[in-house]
Structure 1
Amino acid sequence: MKLPRFLAPLLLIAVLAVGAALAYRSLLVKPQAPSVDYVLLDGSKLNSAQWAGKVTLVNFWATSCSTCVHEMPQIVATHEKFKARGYDTLAVAMSYDPPAFVASFAESRKLPFGVAIDNTGSVAQAFGKVQLTPTTFLINKRGEIVKKYVGEPDFNALHALVEQLLAES
């Protein structure tokens, strides 16, 4: 059976439309944050499962990283601004950062959130082989990575995004 001439272009258009719709949909799918275990400076052992239902900022940093040190007061201010509304922060010190330096930094600056030392590099590995600092992930209440920042974020834009994510159910 031979198709009428006008039908072939219509079929091609339909196939292209379906392909475009699938491609667009894949852009909307957000990757899940990895399941990770970590140990805080106080020795408590935690898991990323505790992030469920919260908007969480995970910041990979190092005491030797000048941008990390510079942005930390803004990360603290962001944490303080949103913590009462279901927002949390985890600062993950890189495996090469001496634990004594990390502990001293956290204590001297009175960091109000969890600070983990990624001794084995397993947390950085799970988040896509993080090597550059600072690298920061914003995770929504459903455990999806909404945004990845390499370098210091635009904190006004970050705050607007956090507001939006906190408003989601």
Structure 2
Amino acid sequence: MKQFVLGIVLVSTLFACQQKKYGAFIVSGKIENSPSNKILLEALPFGAQQPVVVDSTTLASNGNFELRGTATTEGLYLLAIENGPQVLFINDSKDIKVVMDAHHYKTYTTNGSAASTALHQFLEQYSTKFDPLADAYLQADSLQNTPHADSALSASVNLRKETLLKNFNGFLEQTIKESTSPALTYYVIGKAFKTMQPDAIKQLTDASVAKFKDNAGGLMRLQEIINGQMATDPKIALMNKPAPDFTLADTSGKMVSLSSLKGKYVLVDFWASWCSPCRQENPNVVAAYNQFKDKNFTVLGVSLDNDKAAWLKAIHQDHLTWTHVSDLKQWQSSVVDLYKITGIPFNVLVNPQGIIIGVELRGVALQNKLAEVLK
């Protein structure tokens, strides 16, 4: 099995090429301790599940090699040792040098290709930043599945997870904004699908298309994919759209409409007393409400309960002091189809004009979004 340079994921939507004439290029250099004498130059074309061999050669006795390719676009390529490690690079110049020790392939060097050097630096930083985030998610998931887990510990772990997530996404965003290579930009946006919200990815993609307007062929295709995804995914489709109105009974039987709260920022929080993840998230919602309730902000709790006594008990136990409504029909509630709800907890943040400006905001993400809009 081939070893991949850390961070390479061959997802078909990640490897579009950019429309810029680059012509012929040469990749040469030296490879030490190679497990095979056969070396391949492979392209990663848009939409392909597997790399395409462009050229191949045999290592000289001193480890030197030279490979040639021709491309009309800037794209992503692999320098691959047969049955050995691979190096990812970008054909942004006509003469690219690669030096690698197969025993320590992650420390390869590239010369003559600024985009390849930037890509290598990104991959190294990606590993350093992503691994702690992945560990934090595993720890948080483990606690969530542990009966009677310590609430203070869970809150601490979730806070760490959300902080690492914010910092990691900030790293991706900064890399994308500072990139001078359309191929590198495309690759990093592909990585962002793991951790960023779709609306944030769309904003970065739209900006990148404008930035590389003369070389944005692949980015434009990615833009089309994202737009299609946002149009077909109900939750994503809610963003920047008017919040669907509804009217349900509150705890005393009084009918309350979402539209009656227009003029305020409203977190519409869909939850239920029987939903363990909802109950674990409630302290975060309480903290957000207490912090921002005097800044034209409120919460409207919408329960998918079918037992009124259990609903009222949970409201009291979790200290949820805002308005609560429910038709007590659980998954047959009218709001389920209206908001295309497939799981809870689920929420939307509605601005004073009645437009949804946030979807599925949890943990630190909720605090950060409220701090952003309620300055």
Normalised to the residue count of structure 2, the TM-score between the two structures is: 0.35
Whether 1:162 and 2:373 are equivalent positions in the alignment is: no
- Report the AA paired with residue 336 of structure 2: A
Q: Is the 8 A contact 2:286 2:319 kept in 1?
A: no
The question of 1:125 aligning with 2:337 is answered yes
- Write the mapping of 1:1-169 to structure 2, written as runs, cut at 5 A: 30-94=240-304, 96-120=305-329, 121-128=333-340, 130-149=341-360, 153=362, 155-167=363-375
Contact 1:59/1:134, CA 8 A, preserved across alignment: yes
How many residues are paired up?
A: 145
RMSD: 2.8
One-letter identity of the residue aligned with 1:161: K
* Aligned-partner residue type, residue 364 of structure 2: N
Aligned equivalent of 1:9: none
Contact 2:279 2:318 in 1 (8 A): no
Which residue is equivalent to 2:73? none
Q: CA deviation at 1:165?
A: 2.2
Bigger radius of gyration among the two? 2
Which gives a bigger RCO, structure 1 or 2 (Cα 8 Å, sep 6+)? 1
Alpha-carbon distance in 1 for matches of 2:292, 2:254: 23
C-alpha separation in 1, matches of 2:312 and 2:371: 31
Q: How much does 1:32 deviate?
A: 0.7
Partner SS for 1:85: coil
**Amino acid in structure 2 at the alignment position of 1:51:** L
CA distance in 1, matches of 2:271, 2:345: 5
Report the alpha carbon displacement of residue 157 of structure 1 after superposing the two structures with TM.
2.5
- In 2, Cα distance between equivalents of 1:42 and 1:79: 22
Amino acid at match of 2:285: I
Deviations 1:74-99 (A, max 9, x none): 111111111111101011111x5311
Please say if residues 63 and 97 of structure 1, whose CA atoms lie closer than 8 Å, have aligned partners that are also in contact. Answer: no
Task: Give identity over the alignment, percent.
Answer: 24
CA contact (8 A) 1:141 1:165 kept: no
Secondary structure of 1:123's partner? helix
Partner amino acid for 2:371? E
| Superposition TM-score, scaled by structure 1 size | 0.73
Q: Which runs of 5+ in 1 are unaligned?
A: 1-12
The alpha-carbon distance between structure 1 residues 40 and 91, as it changes in their structure 2 partners (threshold 3 A), is: same
- State the shift of 1:63 in Å: 1.4
